């Protein structure tokens, strides 16, 4: 959030009260994709910021690392996103890391996992509860700083780090989608950009609702 705050401060200095934190976040997502060799897309502007804040409300619709395929599809569908869009957006997991506490159950208890991969991950994620909970592991250990289709190759090798990753390729209705993106990186990038635009337009606050926050972490 320090980067978002810095961008907001810079915008307020030259154009006060015009560009919302919501728009800055949306632009940052687009620019971050391009920075790591992913696709770019046109961002519609004009969002406004909420005058309330609720962590519980914000997290209520977020998919959990422990969720099964049907639950994931249902959550995305509630937001107007179909199963294919859910899979392509999950491809963002080719970037970033996860905490031990979110994948411990998978590497010790699940059978749809490459044995060597599980052993490797156990080295920094002990079995005992609370030991090493915050230890990090890359979601994509091969190209962790590139937004490519490696994530889908990992799933087909049964090396998905999170339970919610591997369920996308586990004999279910999204297997063919995963296989398609593994074969065609251009298709992944094109569909990812389209889905990001669609996700960025889910229930935006627009005038006269909301406000333009002066500081992103607090209402005016």
pLDDT digits (tens, 9 = 90+) for 44-64: 999 999 998 888 887 888 999
148 is in an annotated binding site: yes
What's the confidence (pLDDT) of residue 53? 81
Give the pLDDT confidence of 210-220 residue by residue, as tens digits: 999 999 988 99
* Same structural domain, 73 and 176: yes
What's the confidence (pLDDT) of residue 109? 97
Instruction: Tell me, yes or no, whether 189 lies in a domain.
Output: yes
Cβ contact 72:86 at 8 Å: yes
Which residue ranges of the chain lie beneath pLDDT 70? none
pTM of the model: 0.93
CATH at residue 148: 1.10.420.10
Instruction: Tell me, yes or no, whether 209 lies in a domain.
Output: no
Taking residue 61's Cβ as centre, other Cβ atoms within 10 Å add up to 11
* Same structural domain, 21 and 92: no
Cβ contact 94:143 at 8 Å: yes
Instruction: Tell me, yes or no, whether 190 lies in a domain.
Output: yes
* Same structural domain, 78 and 31: no
What's the confidence (pLDDT) of residue 57? 82
Domain that residue 189 falls in: 69-199
* Same structural domain, 19 and 87: no
114 is in an annotated binding site: no
94 is in an annotated binding site: yes
Number of alpha carbons in the 13 Å side-chain half-sphere of residue 164? 19
Q: Please give the tally of structural domains in the chain.
A: 2
93 is in an annotated binding site: yes
Written as six digits, the tokens of 13 are 């200095």
Instruction: Tell me, yes or no, whether 219 lies in a domain.
Output: no
Mapped onto helix, strand or coil, the DSSP state of residue 99 is strand
63 is in an annotated binding site: yes
* Same structural domain, 166 and 104: yes
Cβ contact 49:209 at 8 Å: no
DSSP 18: T
Backbone angles phi, psi at 138, to 5 degrees: -70, 140
Instruction: Tell me, yes or no, whether 124 lies in a domain.
Output: yes
* Same structural domain, 85 and 192: yes
């Amino acid at each position: 959030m320090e980067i978002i705050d810095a961008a907001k401060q810079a915008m307020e200095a030259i154009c006060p009260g015009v560009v919302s934190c919501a728009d800055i976040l949306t632009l940052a997502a687009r620019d971050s994709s391009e920075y790591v060799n992913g696709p770019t897309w046109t961002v519609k502007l004009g969002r406004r910021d909420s005058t309330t804040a609720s962590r519980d409300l914000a997290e209520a619709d977020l998919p959990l690392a422990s969720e099964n395929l049907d639950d994931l599809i249902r959550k995305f569908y509630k937001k107007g996103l179909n199963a294919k869009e859910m899979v392509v957006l999950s491809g963002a997991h080719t970037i970033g890391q996860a905490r031990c506490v979110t994948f411990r159950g998978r590497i010790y208890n699940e059978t749809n996992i490459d044995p060597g991969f599980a052993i490797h991950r156990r080295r920094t994620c002990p079995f005992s509860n609370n030991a090493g909970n915050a230890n990090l592991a890359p979601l994509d250990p091969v190209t962790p700083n590139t937004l490519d289709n490696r994530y889908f190759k990992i799933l087909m090798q049964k090396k998905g780090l999170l339970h919610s990753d591997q369920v996308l390729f586990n004999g279910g209705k999204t297997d063919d989608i995963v296989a398609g993106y593994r074969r065609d990186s251009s298709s992944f990038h094109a569909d990812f950009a389209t889905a990001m635009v669609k996700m960025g337009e889910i229930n935006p606050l627009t005038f006269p609702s909301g406000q333009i926050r002066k500081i992103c972490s607090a209402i005016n």
